[in-house]
Amino acid sequence: MEIIAFGVQADERPLLERAFAGRHQIRCLDVNLDHDTAPIAHGYEIVTTDVNSELSAEVLQTLFTGGTKLIAQRATGYNNIDLRAAADLGMTVGRVAAYSPYAVAEFAWALALAVDRRVIRAAQRTRLFDFRLDGLMGRDLRGRTAGVVGTGRIGEAFTRIAHGFGMRLLGWDLAENPACRDLGMRYVDRDHLFAESDLITLHVPLTDATRRLVDAPALAAMKDDALLVNTSRGGLVDTAALVETLKSGRLSGVALDVYEEEAGMFFHDRSLDVVRDDVLARLMTFNNVLVTSHQAYFTADAVGQITDATLANVEDYLAGRDGVNLLVTPERPPAAGR
């Protein structure tokens, strides 16, 4: 079977090719799947995509017309896929339900410490042989409060590290995690978490219920010197409201590995382009904001697990098995609301 893979990063490609070698041929492309690139997949029964590919009803129709029957997304999130349209077309859609939670949790901590201790500013200065400490003062995190929004596998991994730092732990989730409670986490309502936390980290999926979870009222409720970290999905944060909050001089630091309008921007070199996103451009001007390019998951361990799970999804589809990662099959439409 020949498979086409969209949005493949240079460091990801050898892992994909090695995993599929001897089983299937895989054609790796660095472009994302969208309405312009969808015709490239004509004749491919199996298409694998990255998280910033666009799988709207229009794109899915183009794929279906070209013979595609399986979409295997190399990510946990699937808010970029119109599952109802896929079901109506009789397509199968799979994702990677889980991979190393430590990859994301550890990177979230790297971001939190970088903004708290002004590491980027310090590194920029010392490269110019400027060794002053002006403006570099951070805070001890021991004894302060970490608010973990979403306490699944990644949130739990983040919580374990926070516990090691000696932080007080607040959590918010639809279902409490006993492992987090055992670490001393106290579950509270969302507004209480935003108001009481010194460090707020987001680890929930993007759904209709969580879209812009961090909106203007939520930001207003936060402490003036709070740290905000988002390594989950960009759409969880109202970025325009965040910019207004930062303009008012509030929040000690913000670290974003994701951005609500990142599609078409992240994973690409736009250094020579005119930036047309005024919100992102303004966000980049704040010296207490750190933006990275959706790389929290990007470790050899996690990408290897993602690749293996993607191969398993392909094998399950070809064998007619209803694998744990399959979201939609011709026999099983998506749940209501998806």
Q: Per the structure block, which two tokens stand in for 190? A: 């969302």
Q: In sequence order, which residues have a C-beta less than 8 Å from that of residue 220 and are 6 or more positions away?
A: 245
Identify the active-site residue in 95, 118, 168, 233: 233
Cα separation, 100 vs 306, whole angstroms:
9
> Is 246 in contact with 254 (CB distance < 8 Å)?
yes
Q: Per the structure block, which two tokens stand in for 299? A: 């470790």
- The CA-based diameter of the chain, rounded to the nearest angstrom, is 65
233 is an active site residue:
yes
Q: Per the structure block, which two tokens stand in for 13? A: 């490609």
Q: In sequence order, which residues have a C-beta less than 8 Å from that of residue 284 and are 6 or more positions away?
A: 291
Which of 285, 286, 242 is closest to 261 using CA atoms?
242
262 is an active site residue:
yes
Q: What are phi and psi of 70, to 5 degrees?
A: -125, 130
The sheet carrying 46-49 orders its strands as 25-28, 2-5, 46-49, 70-73, 92-94, 326-328
Strand boundaries in the chain, DSSP class E: 2-5, 25-28, 46-49, 70-73, 92-94, 145-149, 168-172, 186-187, 199-202, 227-230, 253-256, 289-291, 326-328
Cα separation, 70 vs 310, whole angstroms:
11
Identify the active-site residue in 54, 196, 260, 262: 262
> Is 200 in contact with 228 (CB distance < 8 Å)?
yes
Task: Say what angle helices 300-319 and 13-20 make with each other, to 10 degrees.
Answer: 40
Integer angstrom CA distances of residue 295 from 20, 82, 220, 320: 23, 24, 28, 33
Residues that are catalytic: 233, 262
